[in-house]
Amino acid sequence: MTARARIAVIGAGWWATTVHIPALMVNPHAELVAICDPNPARAQSAAAEADAHGYTDVTEMLAAEGLDGVIIATPHSTHYAIAAEALKAGVNVLVEKPLATSASDAWELVTMAADRGLLLAAGLTYHYAAQAPAIRDAVRHEIGELRSVNAEFSSSTGDFFVVVDENSANPNDPKAPHATTYSDPSTGGGQAHTQLTHLLGGLLWAAEEQATHVAAMTENHGLRVDLVDSFSFRLEGGALCVASSTGTTAPGVPPRHRIRFHGTKGMVEWDLLKAQADVFLEGGTVRQLENPDHLPAYGRERVSESFVNSILTNAPTPAPGAFAAASVALIEAALFAAESGKTITVPQAPFDIRES
Ligand SMILES: NC(=O)c1ccc[n+]([C@@H]2O[C@H](COP(=O)([O-])OP(=O)(O)OC[C@H]3O[C@@H](n4cnc5c(N)ncnc54)[C@H](O)[C@@H]3O)[C@@H](O)[C@H]2O)c1
């Protein structure tokens, strides 16, 4: 076992520079050795800040640094190619959400990682909460057969999806408005890939099932990408689910990120933002799974911490690639369903997602 995991961050934009890089810099089990971004100014300034090597080319960095793991925080449509290259180089991978923008790409990453005995984790932040595994276990083992799931993700993300004039923003400022990362259909922008992916990743992971059929409607409200989504879908075991998501939550109105799992013997209500759940069982028993006081409910820093820990100890990741891939497959099919106005059969993974 390496004393400290040698980690690189790929993408030196908003999320990497505000969350992953600062968290890695204070993690005693991680050595942040390199940062890569095709924008040389971003790569150099982030690398200088972290006392790491700066790169503009992923291939060159992978060949030079002898890495244990990479964290990929780049635009959605770039995730697959970068992750595939890192896995081929024998490096463990944490990919920000969504894992990829097509089911076939997502499944290929899962298969590549499994074939090589490497870790493939997704940056689905809510899975890393202290109680998330207990909430998952309550859904899987305490509430009987799942019959229905009701899920909501509302946020004020509308501004992310507005097309920004690249000339009006400083392209070297990672905190400047994102010119194309979220606003362009070709880069995998929009509410579904950006936000619903959190909700659906959590839903499928807790239920331990894939979706089989989906009908959907989306609204763009003048944008080039979806801003409001309503998905209705069936899981393998027959449970019927509704997931709705909007990026239009008004300023000052609290966002809601919640999933209710209704089983034949009880119900679990998971509040993702509070990192807690209520478990209601037949006969009137209520159990609360509360976030420990000493941990923040929104533990963004725990994502890289968990990745490093899994590399060093082989501990399983709470956000396995297989379930993140299942949510990619559902979103891809749902966006097609919305476009075509038809109920779509969701393609199934070419492996058992429960064993991946
Ligand atoms: N888990 C969460 O809650 C959460 C929150 C915010 C963002 N994210 C995710 O983080 C990722 C990055 O988002 P962001 O807001 O930081 O975007 P951003 O646009 O601010 O930054 C993306 C960076 O990637 C760089 N880049 C583009 N193509 C690249 C390539 N081929 N190789 C290396 N770098 C490349 C860009 O130059 C840019 O600096 C996205 O997947 C996003 O969904 C996750």
Distance 96 CA to ligand 1 centre (A): 8
Q: What is the mean pLDDT of residues 30-46?
A: 97
Point out the domain boundary residue: 94, 126, 158: 126
3-state secondary structure of 79: helix
Distance 194 CA to ligand 1 centre (A): 11
72 contacts 79 by C-beta, under 8 angstroms: yes
Looking at the CA of residue 193, tell me the nearest atom of ligand 1.
43
Looking at the CA of residue 125, tell me the nearest atom of ligand 1.
1
285 and 180 in a common domain: yes
pLDDT at 2 over 80: no
Nearest to 72 by CA among 13, 4, 160, 5: 13
Distance 145 CA to ligand 1 centre (A): 38
Smallest CA separation from ligand 1 atom 6, residue: 15
Give every CB contact of residue 107 below 8 A, 6+ residues apart in sequence.
325, 329, 349, 350, 351
81 and 64 in a common domain: yes
The share of the chain scoring above pLDDT 90, in percent, equals: 91
Instruction: Work out the burial of residue 44: count CB atoms within 10 Å of its CB; fewer than 13 is exposed, 13-18 middle, 19 or more buried.
Output: middle
Distance 69 CA to ligand 1 centre (A): 17
Establish if 305 belongs to a structural domain. Answer: no
Establish if 154 belongs to a structural domain. Answer: yes
Distance 27 CA to ligand 1 centre (A): 21
158 and 79 in a common domain: no
Q: What is the mean pLDDT of residues 56-71?
A: 98
In which band, very low, low, confident or very high, does the pLDDT at 3 lie, cut at 50, 70 and 90?
confident
Q: Helices marked H in the chain — which ranges?
A: 14-15, 21-25, 40-50, 58-65, 79-88, 103-116, 132-141, 191, 197-207, 302-313, 321-340
162 and 120 in a common domain: no
pLDDT number for residue 166: 67
199 and 285 in a common domain: yes
Looking at the CA of residue 123, tell me the nearest atom of ligand 1.
1
pLDDT number for residue 169: 65
Q: Choose which residue among 74, 184, 300 to substitute to test ligand 1 binding: the one with the highest number of ligand atoms within 8 A of its C-beta.
A: 74
264 and 222 in a common domain: yes
How far apart CA 298 and CA 332 sit, in angstroms, is 27
Point out the domain boundary residue: 126, 146, 161: 126
pLDDT number for residue 195: 96
3-state secondary structure of 263: strand
182 and 330 in a common domain: yes
Establish if 258 belongs to a structural domain. Answer: yes
- DSSP letters along 209-250, please? --EEEEEEEEE-TTSSS-SEEEEEEEETTS-EEEEEEES-PP
CATH of the domain at 150: 3.30.360.10
Tell me which residue range forms the domain holding 47.
5-126
Over residues 270-280, the pLDDT tens digits come to 999 999 999 99
Establish if 272 belongs to a structural domain. Answer: yes
Over residues 115-155, the pLDDT tens digits come to 999 999 999 999 999 999 999 999 999 999 999 999 999 99
Over residues 297-347, the pLDDT tens digits come to 999 999 999 999 999 999 999 999 999 999 999 999 999 999 999 999 999
Point out the domain boundary residue: 126, 145, 173: 126
3-state secondary structure of 32: strand
Smallest CA separation from ligand 1 atom 3, residue: 125
According to DSSP, the residues that pair with 122 across neighbouring strands are: 95
Establish if 42 belongs to a structural domain. Answer: yes
pLDDT number for residue 122: 98
Looking at the CA of residue 180, tell me the nearest atom of ligand 1.
19
What are 219's two structure tokens? 């609204």
Establish if 309 belongs to a structural domain. Answer: no
DSSP state of 75: -
Over residues 147-200, the pLDDT tens digits come to 999 999 999 988 889 887 766 667 788 887 787 899 999 999 999 999 999 999
Distance 100 CA to ligand 1 centre (A): 13
Nearest to 203 by CA among 300, 326, 298, 312: 326
pLDDT at 268 over 80: yes
292 and 240 in a common domain: yes
Smallest CA separation from ligand 1 atom 28, residue: 74
236 and 338 in a common domain: yes
Provide the residue type at 4 as one letter: R
Distance 206 CA to ligand 1 centre (A): 26
159 and 51 in a common domain: no
Domain count, the chain: 2
Distance 8 CA to ligand 1 centre (A): 14
Looking at the CA of residue 179, tell me the nearest atom of ligand 1.
19
Q: Choose which residue among 14, 60, 78 to substitute to test ligand 1 binding: the one with the highest number of ligand atoms within 8 A of its C-beta.
A: 14
Containing 269, the helix (H) or strand (E) segment is: strand 266-271
Establish if 315 belongs to a structural domain. Answer: no
Establish if 310 belongs to a structural domain. Answer: no
Pairing, β 53-55 against β 286-289: unpaired
How far apart CA 15 and CA 77 sit, in angstroms, is 16
The phi and psi torsions of 191 (rounded to 5 degrees) equal: -65, -35
Smallest CA separation from ligand 1 atom 11, residue: 73
How far apart CA 63 and CA 60 sit, in angstroms, is 5
44 and 115 in a common domain: yes
CA dihedral 129, 130, 134, 135 (to 10 degrees): -30
Reading phi first (left if > 0) and then psi (alpha if -120 to 50, else beta), residue 225 is in beta
Distance 199 CA to ligand 1 centre (A): 19
pLDDT at 1 over 60: no
Looking at the CA of residue 76, tell me the nearest atom of ligand 1.
41
Distance 285 CA to ligand 1 centre (A): 44
113 and 180 in a common domain: no
Q: What is the mean pLDDT of residues 251-264?
A: 96
pLDDT number for residue 163: 81
Distance 147 CA to ligand 1 centre (A): 37
Residues with CB under 6 A from ligand 1: 10-16, 36-39, 42, 58, 73-76, 78, 82, 96-97, 123, 125, 174, 178, 181, 194
CATH of the domain at 96: 3.40.50.720
Looking at the CA of residue 175, tell me the nearest atom of ligand 1.
20
